Amino acid sequence: MSKRKRIKIGREKLQRIIEMCKSVEERSLDPFLIDVDEAVKTIKEFFPEWEIPEDLCLDAETVYHLASVIKLQSEWVKHRSTSLYTDPFLLTEKLVHIEKEEMVETFLKAWHPIVEIEQISLHSLAEALRYWENLLPLSERWQEFQPSEIRTSPATREELIRQRILREKAFSEELESFWQELKNKVKEKGVEGKIRYWDFVGAETYEETVHRAFLTSFLVTYGYASLEIQSLEEEIFIKPNEKPAAKTRKKQLVSIPIAVTTEDWTKWKKGELR
């Protein structure tokens, strides 16, 4: 069997395990319907085949769902060992055949309703009277609102920019100058033609940092730059391309989420984050 075909079969098998686990989790089916040993064997069998991140994620997801089912199995065993456990089938049979009156009689013997009182006290009455005395009449509280006359006139381009309805530069222009900035920064501070992600994205304010991260994501998507992730060191670098790289269909595009949180930004400001 070719490697490609084996990978395809492996994916299908993992998907099937995930679906089975999900149906047990969501529809509260008997968790022992799933043969965990068999599922683990399948996961193990196909693990050496996984190379791309998507397949590794699928593998991790399968393990996660299987772990949830094992948790449900342990809860099931715990429940069976408690004194509250009753055979669901036996109980359902009873519930179907029991008379309404008999059911109510049984229930009433085990039901001890809460006693609650809602009553106004003299103190609250006095308090309410005091409030009423101090309350202004509606005619004074809801005085008619006279709207002031507003003159209308056409807005200028500067005003629209100030109100952030229009942008100062077209987005493509902004992206081009941002690319230029990246190139300059790499020349100044970069090593081997690349710069640390946070050293490029980080700015004086958090808002500005988020804006820069937003633009950076477009630089990468449109091929102006590429990301280099060193998983072991947990470091991300950004590398400007000399020319925008054309999109190629041969390679599968991968989305990489990078969190830009206030905590990370604060750490970066303190020099604690690379």
Partner 1 sequence: MRRRKGYYASKMKRAVHLLFYKRHTKPGVKGWELRKALGADYPKVLKILDNYLKALDLQVKTVFEGEKPVEKPTLEQLDKARFYITLRGDLTPKEAKMIGWRIDDLAGLAITIAYVISKKGKVPRKEVEELLRDKLPGWKVGLNVDRYIRYGYLTQDENEQLYLDWRTRAEIDQKAFIDMLLSK
Give me 255's structure tokens. Answer: 């989305």
What is the token pair recorded at 46?
């196909």
Closest separation between CB of residue 235 and partner 1, Å? 39
Subset of residues 127 to 186 that bind partner 1, contact rule: CB under 8 A: none
**Is there binding between residue 189 and partner 1 (CB under 8 A)?**
no
The pair of three-digit structure tokens given for residue 58, joined into one six-digit string: 């699928």
According to CB under 8 A, which one of 1, 4, 44, 101 is a site residue for partner 1?
101
Nearest residue to 254 (alpha-carbon basis) of 220, 230, 216, 225: 220
Q: HSE on the CB side for 119, CA within 13 Å?
A: 5
Query: CB-wise, 12 or 105, nearer to partner 1?
Result: 105
> Would you say 106 or 221 has its CB closer to partner 1?
106
- Nearest 5°: phi and psi at 130? -60, -45
Q: How far is the CB of 119 from partner 1 (least distance, A)?
A: 7
The crossing angle, in degrees rounded to 10, of helices 36-46 and 53-81 is: 170
Residues in 12-41 that interact with partner 1 by CB under 8 A:
26-28
Among 15, 23, 74, 106, binds partner 1 (CB under 8 A): 106
Q: Report residue 199 as tokens.
A: 């050293």
* Minimal distance, residue 191 CB to partner 1, in Å: 49
Rounded to an integer, what distance in angstroms lies between the CA atom of residue 274 and that of residue 267? Answer: 9
- C-alpha R_g of the chain: 33
Among residues 23, 74, 92, 180, which is the contact residue for partner 1, using CB under 8 A?
92
Longest dimension (CA), the chain: 90
Q: Among residues 1, 48, 90, 131, which is the contact residue for partner 1, using CB under 8 A?
A: 90
- Number of residues counted as binding partner 1 (CB under 8 A): 38
Residue ranges in contact with partner 1 by CB under 8 A: 26-28, 75-76, 79, 83-84, 86-88, 90-92, 94-96, 98, 100-119
